[in-house]
């Protein structure tokens, strides 16, 4: 096994590898939209209606995703991260024709809608049985994650207290692998070129090992669904 004790900048690269979180400066327009959304009062009930009308056909009634079609689980994901991804799709800073079409709809084209949908999704119970692989690389995956990613995602991969670093738990194995490869192929426009080069240096066994390990993580130390974006528990 490689020695995975690398400088902290590489740990950030691994973060981007696994979840698509951008460590490069986001375009000003996206930043403005995200900050506007975070200042709004969230209406989770309205978010539920928007989700069921616009998103459930692909992501499922409980937002548990679809491993057969490599569609991610969204349930219990961090609110700020979800808002950022919706802003990226809306501003074409993240590839995905299906999502571009969805966020172009009038009902989902504004920051208030993103805030409401994100609030609803963050409160849902996490996917109970996400897709996993054969388990042969779990030990290697754990070593890579704990040495390189836990400082940002925390030891149980729930994400950071600010909410912009996503949860990597309870996610389908195939989706984690696909997103890693998409980043290596420069299909995510909001990722720094140095990070892409690092991601591209990982071999298939390392990619699949980390994905399999993450897909098997359960029972976070703290309940993400109850964490506000400032890291404190909700009332």
> Do the Cβ atoms of 157 and 77 come closer than 8 Å?
no
- Residue 71 φ/ψ, nearest 5 degrees: -105, 130
pTM to 2 decimals? 0.81
Radius of gyration (C-alpha) of the chain in whole angstroms = 17
**What is the predicted pLDDT for the residue at 4?**
52
**What is the predicted pLDDT for the residue at 7?**
37
> Do the Cβ atoms of 215 and 130 come closer than 8 Å?
yes
**What is the predicted pLDDT for the residue at 226?**
52
**What is the predicted pLDDT for the residue at 184?**
74
By residue count, the chain amounts to: 235
- As a whole number of angstroms, the distance between CA 147 and CA 129 comes to 26
Q: Indicate the CATH number for domain 8-19+27-226.
A: 1.10.760.10
Q: Closest Cα partner for 165 from 43, 35, 42, 15?
A: 15
Cα dihedral 49, 51, 55, 58 sign: negative
- As a whole number of angstroms, the distance between CA 110 and CA 89 comes to 12
pLDDT, tens only, 62-85:
999 999 999 999 999 999 999 999
- Rounded to an integer, what is the distance from CA 103 to the centroid of its chain? 17
Q: Closest Cα partner for 124 from 222, 225, 2, 219?
A: 225
**What is the predicted pLDDT for the residue at 119?**
97
- The DSSP secondary-structure symbol of 68 reads G
**What is the predicted pLDDT for the residue at 8?**
42
> H/E element holding 59?
helix 56-59
pLDDT, tens only, 114-147:
999 999 999 999 999 999 999 999 999 999 888 8
**What is the predicted pLDDT for the residue at 61?**
94
Q: What is the pLDDT along the chain (235 residues), one digit of tens a residue?
A: 455 544 344 444 444 444 444 444 457 899 999 999 999 999 999 999 999 999 999 999 999 999 999 999 999 999 999 999 999 999 998 888 999 999 999 999 999 999 999 999 999 999 999 999 999 999 999 998 888 778 778 899 998 888 888 899 999 999 999 988 887 777 666 666 766 776 777 789 989 999 999 999 986 655 545 555 544 445 4
- Rounded to an integer, what is the distance from CA 116 to the centroid of its chain? 17
The helix-helix angle for 28-38 and 79-90 (nearest 10°) equals: 140
**What is the predicted pLDDT for the residue at 20?**
47
Q: Report angle CA 118, 49, 44 to the nearest 5 degrees.
A: 40
Please enumerate in sequence order all residues whose Cβ is within 8 A of that of 8, keeping only pairs 6 or more positions apart, or say none: 151
Give me 169's structure tokens.
């738990």
């Amino acid at each position: 096994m490689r020695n995975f004790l690398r400088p902290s900048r590489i740990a950030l690269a691994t973060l981007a590898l696994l979840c698509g979180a951008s460590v490069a400066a986001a375009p000003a327009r996206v930043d403005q939209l995200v900050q506007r959304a975070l200042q709004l009062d969230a209406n989770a009930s309205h978010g539920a209606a928007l989700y069921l009308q616009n998103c459930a056909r692909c992501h499922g009634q409980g937002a548990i995703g679809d491993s057969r079609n490599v569609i991610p689980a969204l349930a219990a994901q961090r609110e700020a991260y979800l808002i950022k991804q919706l802003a990226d799709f809306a501003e074409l800073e993240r590839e995905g024709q299906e999502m571009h079409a969805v966020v172009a709809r009038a009902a989902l084209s504004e920051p208030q809608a993103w805030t409401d949908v994100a609030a609803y999704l963050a409160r849902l119970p996490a996917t109970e049985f996400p897709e996993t692989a054969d388990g042969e690389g779990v030990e290697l995956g754990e070593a890579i994650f704990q040495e390189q990613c836990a400082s940002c995602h925390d030891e149980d991969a729930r994400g950071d207290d600010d909410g912009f670093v996503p949860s990597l738990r309870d996610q389908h194995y195939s989706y984690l692998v696909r997103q890693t490869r998409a980043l290596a192929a420069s299909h995510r426009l909001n990722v720094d070129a140095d990070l892409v080069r690092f991601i591209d240096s990982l071999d298939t066994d390392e990619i699949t090992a980390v994905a399999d390990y993450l897909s098997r993580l359960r029972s976070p130390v703290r309940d993400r669904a109850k964490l506000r974006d400032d890291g404190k528990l909700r009332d």
